[in-house]
Amino acid sequence: MRTFKINLFMIITIMLLLLGQVSPAAERVETAGIVSLESEQTAPSVIAHFHLSGVLSETDMVDALGLTAGQITSLRSLVELMEKAGKDDDVKAVILTFDDMSMGFGQLEELRGAINRLKEAGKKVYVHAEEMNILVYSLLCSGSNLSIAPQSALWFIGIYTESVHVKDLLDKIGVRGEFLHMGDYKSAAEIFTRTEPSKPAEDNINWLLDSYYESLVKMISQSRGISAERLRELIDNGPYLAEQALEKGLIDAVETREEFLARVNSEIEGRVVVNNRYGHDEATQIDIANPFAIFALLSEMLNPPQKPQKDSVALIYVEGTIVSGHSQPSLLGQSGGAFSGDIRKAIETAAEDDSVKAVVMRVDSPGGSAEASEVILNATRMLKGKKPFIVSMGNVAGSGGYYISCGADTIFADEVTVTASIGVVGGKLITADMWDKLGVNWIGYKRGANADFMSGLQPFNESQNQKLEDYMQAIYDVFKDHVTKGRADKLKKPLEEIAGGRVYTGKQALELGLVDEIGGINRAINYAAAQASLEDYDVRVIPRPKDIISLLMEEYTGQGEKPTDIALPDTTSLFSGNPTFISLFELLRQIEPQRAKALYQALMRVELIRRENVIMMMPFELVIN
């Protein structure tokens, strides 16, 4: 008990330090050029300012104390705030500023939709930015007015992608990949076995990139009113400095931030107030001069008022690589990956809760474990018989991500979602040469003809190779059977012509009958509510995101929900606590951040293959510039 008291004191101390940085809402309002004080008599016009910065995540998170410094924003919360601004009569306009927000192509498309709905609601959307690449531009050009700072560059040069291959790296350390794949286009293991893509893999990438490029040009054409042919010509002749971009009609103004603010001020009649924390300024204000105020806040956070239980649409996230078991919570959220035990429990909770009338499963995953994917799919089958079950696909829902989705009543995807990849890959890494180079000798002993089946000290023998192939074929057949049953007569071509590991964008998948609708997460939620005949309802995230205080209290009191199994840290992981690897990765991240991320994700496949042996993963890791 003494330990708990000490740590509670530490918690309170941290909170006091953090709250010392908080200032009243009126003091947080920007005063540069266009802001008046609230104390004046007449009601001012409000401009909602949205900062596009940090990381755009899928999963909702609770950050009541601001520990992430606003650098992690959930897509749904940002879209909902924009929807709120569109309906708010006090909001006369919106300002978007961009500061290197990290997002996927699918998320970009959904944000564009939210910006377009703001304009449809009669709100002028002012956008100011500095240097941009074409992907950022495709988002920001959807505003009513786009200006960039002098001397900024518009890297209007198309999209460039790279697939990573680590065979030479493995050769250098004496490791060799030995893999089988089901489907000519299922090339997920090629990163370990080849120095460049095979012809089917290259065709897959080009097929995907063609659709990406077409969608990108279409987005910009719709926003700027420039023909697709003209845009392709402009792309081929880019990049452009600010004045050149203005001359080409790609932007509306070249101006400093101060000039931008002054112009916005002049275009809106009357007194103007910018709300830099739109939607976040209703938080409880703390009188930090009162030492008991902090305890009142702590009590309120630990015992929030109970809301009446309304009918709801449940929202369940599947984000990251699909793996077996349960996650281990941390102070900033759940550990990385989509854990089948957690997702199954969330689906069961939604199925059993009478107030949940429909369920939306948001999938942003490249796949992963075949066994874990089957666990999730089985849970969705139980749910589907009880209430409407809708899938909303994010940036990617491929391989195992499609496996868990195919049984839904309706599947929504963005035009640029990457999906399908119906196929299986399996095998192992042969490490004998690496140990030989290190001067380490391993002497194996076995009981059972195939006890060394997955040992990295020798390749598969002929019998083992056949057994692995038979095993993978069985999994592949089950995968195809799930898709055939789940999509039934919706498929526009025989499944064999669609499967084989082929990858499609959402637009292509719609044409093939692999998905049902083009639309983002909010459209999927609205559709689910309509299917359940709901008009007044809540959207309830399951499991409920927890704030740092709740996590700390559960940690020190032993209370709260626990996973049904126990997971110990994997000390044999390639990456667990390896300072050399972490330092190398950090160095690469500083020099080549996108390539470093792709390399890291590629190497994580080694870890997954070591654990699972047979996986359902997207065939490549792409770096898009």
- What are the pLDDT digits (tens) for 505-547? 999 999 999 999 999 999 999 999 999 999 999 999 998 765 5
User: What is the bridge-based pairing of β-strands 312-319 and 333-334?
Assistant: unpaired
Look at residues 602, 575, 599, 614 and name the one whose alpha carbon lies nearest to residue 428. Answer: 614
Of residues 57 and 264, the one with the higher pLDDT is 264
- Return the pLDDT at 613: 61
369 phi, psi to nearest 5 deg = -70, 130
Average pLDDT of the residues of the chain:
79
For the cut 60, the answer to whether the pLDDT of residue 297 exceeds it is no
Q: What percent of the chain has pLDDT over 70?
A: 72
Q: 49 has which bridge partners?
A: 95
- The structural domains of the chain, ordered by start, are 22-157+238-275 (3.90.226.10), 312-442+453-569+585-616 (3.90.226.10)
At 183, list the tokens.
């489907």
Residue 180's SS3 state is strand
Q: 3-class DSSP state for residue 590?
A: helix
Instruction: Categorize the per-residue pLDDT at 38 as very low, low, confident or very high, splitting at 50, 70 and 90.
Output: very low
Question: pLDDT > 90: what percent of the chain?
Answer: 37
Count helices and strands in the chain by DSSP H and E runs: 22, 28
Q: Which long-range contacts (CB under 8 A, 24 or more apart) does 233-241 make?
A: 234/156, 235/134, 235/156, 235/157, 235/158, 236/158, 238/134, 238/154, 238/155, 238/156, 238/157, 238/158, 239/153, 239/154, 239/155, 239/156, 239/157, 240/153, 240/154, 240/156, 241/151, 241/152, 241/153, 241/154
**CA quadruple 488, 489, 495, 499: dihedral sign:** negative
Query: What residues form DSSP beta bridges with 162?
Result: 623
**pLDDT digit string, tens, across residues 202-228:** 888 888 888 889 999 999 999 999 999
CA separation for the pair 573, 449 (Å, rounded): 28
If you search the block for the tokens 């429990």, which residue do you land on?
345
In sequence order, which residues have a C-beta less than 8 Å from that of residue 62 and are 6 or more positions away?
A: 545, 546, 547, 548
Query: Each residue of 384-432: pLDDT tens digit?
Result: 889 999 999 999 999 999 999 999 999 999 999 999 999 888 888 888 8
Task: Specify the DSSP element, H or E, that contains 48.
Answer: strand 45-57
Q: What is the pTM of this model?
A: 0.74
And the tokens for 543? 């499991």
Asked if 55 and 107 touch (Cβ cutoff 8 Å), the reply is no
Q: At 229, is the secondary structure helix, strand, or coil?
A: helix
Give the HSE-up count for residue 475: Cα atoms under 13 Å, Cβ half-sphere: 27
pLDDT at 346 over 90: yes
Determine contact, residues 333/541, Cβ cutoff 8 Å.
no
- What pLDDT, in 10s, does the model give residues 156-179? 998 888 777 888 888 888 888 888
What pLDDT, on a 0 to 100 scale, did the predictor assign at position 447? 75
Please report which helix (H) or strand (E) contains residue 541, including its range.
strand 538-541
More confident residue, 148 or 560: 148
Label residue 298 by pLDDT band (50, 70, 90). low
